[in-house]
Chains A and B, each alone.
Chain A
Amino acid sequence: MKTLQPSGIVLAFAWLVLSFLVLPAFAVIPVSFTDTRYLSLPEEHWSLQHWRTFLSSQDWVDSIGQSLWIAVVSTVLSVVAGTLCAIGCWRLSSGLSEKIRGLMILPMAVPTIVYALGIYRLYVELDLVGTMLGVMLAHAVTGLPFVVLTVSASLSNLDPRLEQAARGLGASVRQTLRYVIVPNILPGVLSGAIFAFIHSWDELIVVLFIGGRALFTLPRRMWDGINDNLDPVIAVVATAMILFTLLVLTAELSLRARRAS
Chain B
Amino acid sequence: MLSQASSVNRVYWLIVAPAIVMLVLFYFVPLGQVLLTSVTDPKPGLGNYALLFTSAAIHKTLLTTVRIAAITTGLALVLGYAVAYAMRAATSQRQRLMLFCVLLPFWISVLVRSFAWLTILGPQGPINAGLMGLGLVDEPIALSRNETGVLIAMVHVMLPYAILTLYANMRGIDVGLVSAARSLGASRFQAFRMVFLPLTRPGLIGAASLVFILSLGFYVTPAILGGGKVMMVAQYTAFQINETMRWGLGTMLAAALMIAVLGTLWALSRVIDVKRLFSA
Contacts and interface: CB of A to CB of B under 8 A. Distances in A.
Contacts of A7: 188
Contacts of B279: 149, 153
A13 interface: yes
Interface in B81-101: 82-83, 85-89, 98, 100-101
A218 B274 CA distance: 33
Interface range on chain A (Cβ under 8 Å from partner): 35 or more
A246 to B, nearest CB: 7
B105 A118 contact: no
Given A17-B79, A219-B111, A140 B22 contact: yes
Interface residues of B, number: 88
A21 B22 contact: no
B19 A17 contact: no
B49 interface: no
Contacts of A167: 8
B15 A85 contact: yes
A208 B234 CA distance: 13
B119 A31 contact: yes
Given A6-B89, A22-B105, A114 B176 contact: no
A105 to B, nearest CB: 5
A121 B20 CA distance: 21
Interface string A70-102: 000000010011101101110110000100111
Nearest to B254: A114
Interface string B207-235: 00000010011011000100000000010
A255 interface: no
Contacts of B124: 38-40
B30 A118 contact: yes
A235 B120 CA distance: 11
B257 interface: yes
Nearest to B37: A121
Interface of B: 8-9, 11-16, 18-20, 22-23, 26-27, 29-34, 37, 79-80, 82-83, 85-89, 98, 100-105, 107-113, 115-120, 122, 124-126, 129, 156, 159-160, 175-176, 178-179, 188, 196, 213, 216-217, 219-220, 224, 234, 237-238, 241, 250-251, 254-255, 257-258, 261-262, 265, 274-275, 278-279
Given A114-B255, A142-B27, 6 more contacts: A6-B85, A17-B83, A21-B105, A85-B16, A241-B108, A248-B107
The 3 closest A-B pairs by CB, nearest first: A111-B217, A118-B30, A14-B86
